[in-house]
Structure 1
């Protein structure tokens, strides 16, 4: 994966090791933050007694540059219930930022760039080539289906996670790739 800029988080040694054969799933995310610097700052935050935080393995900026924050052989905290067997790929995208849970701001209007999707396709092919059991891909929204009270009105509920969101071009991104999409989301309102 020569196109990936390796930029490991300071706590990678605190993340649990795993065999590459344990990995069978890719989970796509969008950062729901304004830029790569904000995503890096968020990923650097220590949130657990182990000394680790929440982060994907790879981040792809709008210009197509790809960054490796966590090695594949480490378990990153990026999606509930699936971390031990998945790779998290984060696409830099505003999503619902900065009103993530406000019921009046649930649109995810930013499109993904052509450079991002091209870089994602390249990364997916590379991962498939070196992870022997990689077979499936899902969006964060496909795996985390929890609704939570809206921040502006607790009587309303919103999806906790909507990424990569309705603007993500699944057909384009997965065209001719050897990965099966798992758990397609039902329409999220």
Structure 2
């Protein structure tokens, strides 16, 4: 499978009642270790996982993505796609590669990261669990366009989830070990689930 998505004039699958969304240019910028990520068949992809970067900007998210965290494979943690606040879309890993973004779900899923500060920089501090940065209209529009494109090229794609839906692990807070906090809270309470689900033919997966 080519790392680049097909031309943007593909119709939105199963949504004949909605006009096509605007074109979504995608910049392909593979991570240095992208070719070392495990290969997979497109037929096994049935899930999209929505994340937020919990970092201040795309440049820092890129730096985090480039870090090698797994010595055996010489790879790190990353999503397949990143959508910046201005709606620009960037692809860091090919669809036919398994990206490390959600424990237990990577082989079957596509990871999409939305740039948003989340709980940065005190991710696991008990006093800093609010996620109060709203997602921009440009981000949500770009996300819906990307999801529709993915559905058009991946017939097996039928499910969508937030990272917080799939990783419900609790850990001791860094500022008070007696308090337990959620390890992952993204995309968080301000993510517009109703708007996204109304625009795509995907079912939300909440185990």
User: Normalized against structure 2, the TM-score is what?
Assistant: 0.87
Residue 21 of structure 2 is matched in structure 1 by none
Q: Which residue number corresponds to residue 21 of structure 1?
A: 43
- Contact persistence 2:144–2:199 (CA under 8 A): no
1:67 pairs with 2:72: no
1:175 aligned counterpart, secondary structure: helix
> Which structure 1 residue ranges, 5 or more long, are not aligned?
185-189
Q: TM-score, normalised by structure 1?
A: 0.96
In 1: Cα distance, 2:203 partner to 2:26 partner? 24
Please tell me whether Structure 1 or Structure 2 has the larger radius of gyration of its CA atoms. Answer: 2
Give the alignment partner of residue 79 of structure 1, picking from 91, 102, 109.
102
Residue 154 of structure 2 is matched in structure 1 by 131
3-state DSSP class of the match of 1:96? coil
Deviation at 1:17, TM superposition (A): 0.3
- How far did 1:80 drift? 0.3
Structure 1 moving runs of 4+ over 6 Å: none
Q: After superposition, what is the alpha-carbon deviation per residue over 1:57-113, rounded to whole angstroms, capped at 9, x for unaligned? A: 000000000000000000000000000000000000000000100000000010000
CA–CA separation in structure 1 for the residues paired with 2:198 and 2:158: 15
User: Deviation at 1:176?
Assistant: 3.1
The C-alpha deviation readout for 1:37-76, integer Å capped at 9, x for no partner, is 0000000000112110000000000000000000000000
- Which residue is 1:110 aligned to? 133
Shift of 1:116: 0.1
Q: Aligned partners of 1:88 and 1:11: how far apart in 2?
A: 16
| Alignment length (residue pairs) | 184
Measure, in 2, the Cα distance between the counterparts of 1:94 and 1:77. 20
Distance 1:104 1:42 in 2: 24
Counterparts of residues 30-109 of structure 1 (less than 5 Å): 30-48=52-70, 49-109=72-132
Distance, in Å, in 1 between the alignment partners of 2:206 and 2:132 is 23
Inter-partner Cα distance in structure 1 for 2:168 and 2:117: 20
